[in-house]
Structure 1
Amino acid sequence: MGVRFLKVAAVYFVFGVLLGLTMGITQNFSFTSVHAHLNLLGWVSMALFGVIYLLFPVAGESKLATVHFWLHNLGLPLMQGTLFIMLLTSSHTIVGLTIVGSIMVVVGAVLFMVNVFQNVNLNK
C-alpha cells in the first residue's frame, strides 16, 4: 500500500502546485483552503502514509491500510471537489457531500492511527 500512497501523493502535489500557480497568475486567492488541503492531506499526509507503510510492511499490507487508502482517496477528492464548486459558485447546496468526504477522511485517519498502534513495531 505504501507505493500506492506515494504515487497518488505525487498526483496531489502536482494538482496543489497547479492550483497555487493559477491563483497566483489570476491574483484570485479564493481557493486557498482547497490549495492548502490538497497539499497537506493529498501530498504531505499521503507521502508520509506511504513512507510509513513502506518502512513497516506489516502495517502496509494490513486490511486497515487498504480501507484507509480507499477512504482517503475517495473522501479527499469528494471533500475538496465539492468545496471548490461551492467556492466557485457561492452555493452551499452540496455542503452535505463536503461533509461526507470529510468524515471519510477522518475515519481513514482513525484507521491509520489504529494501524500504527497495532502494526508499527520495530520487533515485527
Structure 2
Amino acid sequence: MGIKFLKISVVYFFIGIGFGIFMSSTLKFQYAPSHAHINLLGWTSLALAGIIYYLFPAIADNRLGKIHFWLHNVGLPIMMAGLILLESGVTSAEPVIAIGASIMSIGIVCFVINVLFKLKDTSQASTKKEIA
C-alpha cells in the first residue's frame, strides 16, 4: 500500500506543478489556493503517508490503510474541483468543497487512528527480548 501512496503522490505533484506553470504563464493567480492544496494534500501528505506505510507494512495492509487511500483520493479531487470552481467565480461550489473535504478528512482520521492505535514499536520488543 505504501508504494500506491507514493505513486499517486507523484501524480498530484505533476498536477500541482503543471497548475503552477499554468498560473504563472496566464497570470491567473487566483488559483493559488488550489495549487497549494494539490501540492500539500496531494503530493506532500500522500508521500509522507506512503513512506510511513512502506516502513510499517502491517498498518498499510489493514482495512484502515485501504480506506485512507480511497477516501483521500476520492475526496481530494472533489474538493479541488469545487475550489477551482469557486476561484473561477462559481459561488455555488462551496457545498462541493465541503463534501470533498469531508470525505478526505474521514480518510485522514483513518490514517491517524491507524498510526496511533495500530502501529506497534517492534524495536523495543526485540530489545526487551535481548535483555531478558
Counterpart residue type for residue 83 of structure 2: L
The equivalent of 2:127 in structure 1 is none
Hey, what's the Cα distance between the residues in 2 that align with 1:36 and 1:121? 33
The equivalent of 2:129 in structure 1 is none
- Once the two structures are superposed, residues 85-111 of structure 1 have per-residue CA deviations (whole angstroms, 9 ceiling, x without a partner) of 2212x1221211110101111111111
Counterpart residue type for residue 87 of structure 1: E
Give the structure with the higher percent helix.
2
The equivalent of 2:78 in structure 1 is 78
**Deviation, structure 1 residue 119:** 2.4
Hey, what's the Cα distance between the residues in 1 that align with 2:69 and 2:96? 19
Is 1:23 aligned to residue 30 of structure 2? no
Hey, what's the Cα distance between the residues in 1 that align with 2:41 and 2:108? 10
Hey, what's the Cα distance between the residues in 2 that align with 1:55 and 1:22? 35
Q: Which deviates the most, 49-58 or 79-88?
A: 79-88
Q: Which has the larger radius of gyration?
A: 2
The equivalent of 1:95 in structure 2 is 94
The equivalent of 2:42 in structure 1 is 42
Question: What is the identity percentage for the equivalent residue pairs of Structure 1 and Structure 2?
Answer: 39
SS of alignment partner, residue 33 of structure 1: helix
Hey, what's the Cα distance between the residues in 2 that align with 1:121 and 1:49? 16
Q: Tell me the C-alpha RMSD between the 2 structures.
A: 1.2
- Once the two structures are superposed, residues 31-56 of structure 1 have per-residue CA deviations (whole angstroms, 9 ceiling, x without a partner) of 00000000000000000011100000
Question: What stretches of structure 2 of length at least 5 have no aligned partner?
Answer: 124-132
**Deviation, structure 1 residue 25:** 1.1
CA contact (8 A) 1:56 1:119 kept: no
Hey, what's the Cα distance between the residues in 1 that align with 2:87 and 2:63? 36
Counterpart residue type for residue 5 of structure 1: F
- The one of the two structures with greater contact order (alpha-carbon pairs below 8 A, sep at least 6) is 1
TM-score (norm 1): 0.94
TM-score (norm 2): 0.89
**4+ residue segments displaced more than 6 Å:** none
- Once the two structures are superposed, residues 63-122 of structure 1 have per-residue CA deviations (whole angstroms, 9 ceiling, x without a partner) of 00011111100000000011112212x122121111010111111111101000122223
